[in-house]
C-alpha cells in the first residue's frame, strides 16, 4: 500500500478544490441567480446540505424539495435556516411516479437526482423495490426532465457502481447508464444529463464512524473490524455538495465525474475513534468489498484527469476531448484504476478530526 501524501483538510488548494469561491463556482452561481432548482430525495443529508449551499451562495428563484416522507419535509421546513424562506417549495412525490415528476419539474432549470434506496442488506432482501426506485426511477427522471425542458440534470452515483458486487451497486450502475444514454433522447429539448460518482461521506447516517461512536458511548469492550486490510474513499458532505455544483457548471452531457478524494483504512478509523479499544475481526459481510473502486481499468480508456477530478467520457459519436480543450486535462495512463487501496492520498487521525469538524459545521 502506498502512503505518498497525507490529506490535510486545512490546505487551501485541497480544501477549496470544489468550493463556490473558485473560478467554476463563481460562474455557476451567476448562472443560478434567478434559476429554478429541483432536488429529488431532497430531505436527506445531501438535500439539506445542497439547499443550505444554494441559499447561502446563490439567489435561486425557486428550490423544489421533492421526497416521499411528509414528516421529514416538516422537520426540514421548521429548521431556522429554512423556515418561511420564499424560495423553498416542499413537494410530496416519488420518483417511481413519472407524472408526479413532470409536475415537479415544470419551469425547472436544474435537477439534482439524489433519491435512491441505498441500504445494501435491504436491497438484497427487497430486490424489486430497489429496481423500481433506483433503475425505473432513473428512467422516469430522464423522461420527465426531457418532457419539462430542464436544462441540466446531475445524478448522484456511488463507488459501488464500479464493478458492482451487490444489487445496490448494480442498480446504480444501471442508473448511471440510463442517465448517460439520456443525452441521446433529449433531441431538440437540449436537456443534458451527467453523473457524479464519489465515495463514503464522513459521518453520514449508517456509515462506520457514527457506528463506532455509538458502540463507544454504549461502553462496548471492543470494536468490530470486518477486515484489517479494508480501505474506503472518504469525502465530507460539504465537499460532495460543492463537487456536484461544480460539475453542473462544466458538464457537456454524458460524463461521469469522479472527485480526487483521500482513502483511509477502516482499522485506522477505529483507532482514531477509540485509541484504547481492542478490535475483533468479524469478516466481510455479503456484498461488501475489501477495497472500493471508482474507475475501473476498462473505464480508464475513456477517462481524462483534471487537477481535482477525473472525467469518464461518454462513448458518443459526437463526443470529442476538445469539449475540455479550455481546461487542464490529460488522458490517464494505460491500465489506470482508481481504487481506495492504491490511492496516493491518505487520511491520518488528525485529518479525520478535521473532516469530522467540517461535517459538524456544514
Please check whether residue 66 is in contact with residue 40, taking contact to mean a CB–CB distance below 8 angstroms. yes
What's the domain range around 143?
12-361
pLDDT value of position 326:
73
Per-residue pLDDT reduced to its tens digit, 15-63: 455 555 556 666 777 778 899 999 999 999 999 999 999 998 889 999 9
The per-residue b/e assignment along 49-61, b for 16 or more CB within 10 angstroms, e otherwise, is bbbbbbbebbebe
pLDDT value of position 15:
46
Indicate left, alpha or beta for 176 from its phi (over 0: left) and psi (-120 to 50: alpha). Answer: alpha
* Sign of the torsion formed by the C-alpha atoms of 124, 126, 127 and 133: negative
Is residue 61 in some structural domain?
yes
> Helices 266-273 and 349-361 meet at what angle, rounded to 10?
70
Is residue 4 in some structural domain?
no
Q: How far apart are CA 259 and CA 248, in angstroms?
A: 13
Helices then strands, counting H and E runs in the chain, come out as 14, 17
Is residue 213 in some structural domain?
yes
Q: Is 21 helix (H, G, I), strand (E, B) or coil?
A: coil
Q: Which residue bears the cell 464519489?
A: 198
pLDDT value of position 100:
98
Spans in the chain with pLDDT lower than 70 = 1-26, 203-206, 353-362
User: Residue 116: which of 163, 62, 179 has the closest Cα?
Assistant: 179
Per-residue pLDDT reduced to its tens digit, 242-296: 999 999 989 999 999 999 999 998 888 888 888 888 888 988 887 788 999 999 9
Q: How far apart are CA 303 and CA 312, in angstroms?
A: 4
Is residue 189 in some structural domain?
yes
Tally Cβ neighbours within 10 Å of residue 210.
14
pLDDT value of position 13:
43
Q: Is 334 helix (H, G, I), strand (E, B) or coil?
A: coil
Is residue 260 in some structural domain?
yes
Q: How far apart are CA 86 and CA 74, in angstroms?
A: 16
pLDDT value of position 256:
98
Is residue 7 in some structural domain?
no
Beta strand 293-295 with 338-339: parallel, antiparallel or unpaired?
antiparallel
Active site residues: 160
List phi, psi (to 5°) of 164. -65, 140
pLDDT value of position 3:
42
Is residue 321 in some structural domain?
yes
Residues 6 or more apart whose CB falls under 8 angstroms from that of 312 comprise 255, 256, 257, 258, 295, 299, 302, 303
Residues 6 or more apart whose CB falls under 8 angstroms from that of 340 comprise 159, 199, 231, 232, 233, 263, 291, 292, 293
The total number of structural domains in the chain stands at 1
247 to 28, 49, 213, 278: CA distances (angstroms)? 9, 16, 33, 42
Q: How far apart are CA 147 and CA 191, in angstroms?
A: 9
* Sign of the torsion formed by the C-alpha atoms of 352, 353, 359 and 362: negative
pLDDT value of position 277:
87
Q: How far apart are CA 229 and CA 267, in angstroms?
A: 8
Q: Is 238 helix (H, G, I), strand (E, B) or coil?
A: helix
Is residue 6 in some structural domain?
no
Q: Give the HSE-up count for residue 86: Cα atoms under 13 Å, Cβ half-sphere.
A: 4
Instruction: For residue 33, give the CATH number of its domain.
Output: 3.40.50.720
Amino acid at each position: 500500500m502506498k502512503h505518498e501524501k497525507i490529506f490535510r483538510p486545512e490546505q487551501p488548494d485541497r480544501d477549496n478544490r470544489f468550493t463556490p469561491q473558485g473560478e467554476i463556482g463563481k460562474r455557476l452561481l451567476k448562472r443560478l441567480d434567478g434559476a429554478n432548482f429541483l432536488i429529488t430525495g431532497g430531505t436527506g443529508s445531501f438535500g439539506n446540505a445542497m439547499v443550505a449551499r444554494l441559499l447561502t451562495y446563490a439567489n435561486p428563484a425557486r428550490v423544489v424539495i421533492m421526497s416521499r416522507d411528509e414528516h421529514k419535509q416538516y422537520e426540514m421546513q421548521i429548521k431556522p435556516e429554512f423556515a418561511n424562506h420564499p424560495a423553498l417549495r416542499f413537494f410530496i412525490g416519488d420518483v417511481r411516479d413519472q407524472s408526479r415528476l413532470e409536475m415537479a419539474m415544470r419551469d425547472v432549470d436544474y435537477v439534482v437526482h439524489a433519491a435512491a434506496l441505498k441500504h445494501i442488506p435491504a436491497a438484497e432482501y427487497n430486490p424489486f423495490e430497489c429496481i423500481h426506485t433506483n433503475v425505473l426511477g432513473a428512467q422516469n427522471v430522464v423522461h420527465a426532465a426531457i418532457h419539462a425542458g430542464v436544462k441540466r440534470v446531475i445524478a448522484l452515483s456511488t463507488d459501488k457502481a464500479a464493478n458492482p458486487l451487490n444489487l445496490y451497486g448494480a442498480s446504480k450502475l444501471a442508473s448511471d447508464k440510463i442517465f448517460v444514454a439520456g443525452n441521446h433522447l433529449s433531441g431538440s429539448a437540449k436537456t443534458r444529463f451527467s453523473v457524479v460518482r464519489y465515495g463514503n461521506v464522513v459521518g453520514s447516517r449508517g456509515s462506520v464512524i457514527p457506528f463506532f461512536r455509538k458502540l463507544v458511548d454504549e461502553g462496548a469492550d471492543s470494536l468490530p473490524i470486518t477486515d484489517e486490510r479494508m480501505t474506503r474513499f472518504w469525502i465530507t458532505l460539504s465537499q460532495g455538495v460543492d463537487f456536484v455544483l461544480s460539475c453542473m457548471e462544466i458538464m457537456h452531457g454524458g460524463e461521469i465525474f469522479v472527485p480526487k478524494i483521500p482513502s483511509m483504512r477502516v482499522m485506522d478509523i477505529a483507532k482514531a475513534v477509540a485509541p484504547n479499544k481492542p478490535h475483533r475481526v468479524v469478516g466481510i459481510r455479503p456484498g461488501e468489498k475489501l477495497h472500493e473502486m471508482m474507475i475501473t481499468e476498462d473505464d480508464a480508456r475513456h477517462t481524462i484527469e483534471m487537477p481535482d477530478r477525473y472525467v469518464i467520457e461518454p462513448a458518443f459519436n459526437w463526443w470529442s476531448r476538445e469539449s475540455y480543450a479550455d481546461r487542464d486535462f490529460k488522458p490517464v495512463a494505460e491500465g489506470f484504476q482508481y481504487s481506495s487501496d492504491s490511492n496516493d492520498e491518505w487520511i491520518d487521525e488528525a485529518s479525520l478530526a478535521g473532516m469530522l469538524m467540517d461535517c459538524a459545521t456544514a
